[in-house]
Structure 1
Amino acid sequence: MRHTWRWFGPVDKVTVQDAAQAGAEGIVSALHHIATGDVWPVDEITRRHEAIKAGGLYWDVVESVPVSEDIKTQTGDWKTHIANWQETLRRLSASGIRTVCYNFMPVLDWTRTDLRWEMKHGAKAMRFDLNDFAAFDIHILKRPDATQDYPDWLLDAAAKRFTEMPDAKIVALSRNIGAGLPGSADGYTLPELIEKLRSYHGVNRERLQQNLIDFLSEVTPVAEDVGINICAHGDDPPWPLLGLPRILSTEADYAHMLSQVDSRANGVTLCTGSLGARADNDLPFIANRFADRIHFVHLRNVTRDTDTVPCSFFEDEHLEGGTDMVAVIAALITEEARRRKEGREDHTVPMRPDHGQEILDDLTRGAQSGYPAIGRLKGLAELRGIERALSHGRFGLGKNNAELGAL
């Protein structure tokens, strides 16, 4: 795999040189300052390439070209936004980009109730607390009909949690849940969030699925023409939130998306952390089933409080948690060997150590939540060690697959 590192641009407190020192071979970035729905300007794309190159690496993957709410609901300027998305693909391809990640989560991107939850050993991790989230939805946001989406036991727990919640916690919870895409300046106040939720009136799960297929039917042919693989990131967490459907939460969801637009250019961003928040998602099986269409990989692990759906969970160390990371990496190495034998140009799959706990000097750096320097360095080193061992010519997969020696 090609080891990459997410960088949020010049505002990022973790630099490209830091990434290179951590062992990254390439950078994952995006133009977060460009408004969602607009075409990315050529000069801005060039400027980002140059900034990354100046740090000693190259821009390998775009994460993300945001999909507007208009596209997801097929309202407003959605057709213009699709045309702009297509043009952005053309411009990115002309600049050398071959992989573009996106998501189709309505209103909220990845959602956590606590961005710096303190572990027993003093490290800080991101956490999704189901009681906190329900307390926010029912008692802080006061979403109409919110109580209908929760069982009685959770209604009681959320009410108790809210009565014990200090004002500072209420403010932090509202800020964390209402945040926009990582690295962007987007975000919602409580009234804005309610208004956004209203814009999805009448958009049920089936309609949102169809809107995704309609979007892919328009952009995938352009991706094929310009030599870009587009890859959908899963829902995070992988279940409905705030009364909104989510449609990329399970193996079945991905199978539906891939079958409806059956092109190699239409693929998967395999995020082991997002899918791993559900106990019924078997990540090694999913990695094997969709191996041919996996274009980008996020490797991280979560520990669930329970195996129910939904549940509370926190972001654990990369080799801990509920996902068998060794088995997932083994599936990816095997797929890369198959692609090389087939002669595919995209035989090397870019991966990045996704998120990371804040440890050591991370605790005072103040980097983007979930993207510390040392925590990700530790994760990348561990993941790279597994890959190197599994692909060694004398051991593991390499012993039975001579072609893996090229790794």
Structure 2
Amino acid sequence: MNKDFLEALDALEQERNISKDEIIVAIESAIENAYKKIYRKSGEAYTPNVKATVDKNTGDVSVILSKEVVDEVVNEATEVSIDEASQYGYEVGDIMEYSIDPQDFGRIATQSAKQVVIQKVREAEREHTYEDNKGKKNNLISAKIERINNGTIFLNAGSVEGILPRSEQVKSENLQVGDRIMAYVTDVKKDRKRGTQIFLSRSHPDLVRKLFEMEIPEISDGTIEIKGIAREAGSRTKIAVKTNDENVDPVGACVGTRGNRVQNIVDELFGEKIDIIVWDEDPAVLISNVLKPAVVEAVFINDEEKIATALVPENQLSLAIGREGQNVRLAARVSKWKIDIKSKAQLLDSGFNFDEYEDVDNKDEDADNNQSDLSSDEKIEVQDNQEII
């Protein structure tokens, strides 16, 4: 090794951000191991004490073998007799050092250095790839499907491969090789063999959250806040929004002119229905909102057990509950309340104790206040196509 080699290390340090000192230490270790390996092959039963040093200014390599001075040698790899050492002024118990310059050792040192540099470059590239991608966790990425193997989808995610497991896919989506999709990054892992891996999801509720943040400027700048989200991927999502700016209609802002904003999200989700709801700190009003499109006549709140009983007209029961209970299930998840839906007759038949609950009427004006400011035509179009409430 020489100055040219050191200059090459300097270039690596600048271009690849690989520590020159770290490479030199690794080269020294590799040379030591190489010498020990040669020594063992020569028939010695014990590993010698050897220390390799690379001069950082000249690139010269020195290898020092250390042996203990003893009266009687038992291990020639680590001990030297007093008879031999005394002529150099050593006494029993001293450590005698030898400078090693075996034939062909220069080739061994060069080969060891080459292998170390290659390994360090690979490790640095893997580390840099991981550092470049770890910040993508819990965010959206756009990626192109490259192959599908046993149900797992592999995507081109830039410098790394994205993995969309079957468990994170939406059953109703028919994804094909060549499709470009948005996906939510659930994790970024560093594997010694496979390198950096990005794990993706199309079914995670935060996929919808991030799409809203991307499409709705009022959400990204904090004017509108997403207070709750519940999703049954591929079928329906309920998302509750709130604003402290009285001049901003949170639902209208999310829907957009003639539904253009939310339509972009629906298209990315291949037609998944989205209900946008106004969040309210009053649980009774909130329950009324999250159960839409059903009309709620009254809500009885049990704060202690966090249970809400919603009174709906007889002809609204199935709408409030939803197909296979979907509407009330999503309503409960987005509001974080346990919701029981009853008609007046059912409440009376069940012996419902009205005294235990706070009775809150659902006034018509409250319902009006929780609608977006769309025109009649706009409401019809949006509700018919996306069921936005």
TM-score (normalised: structure 1) = 0.24
Richer in strand (by share): 2
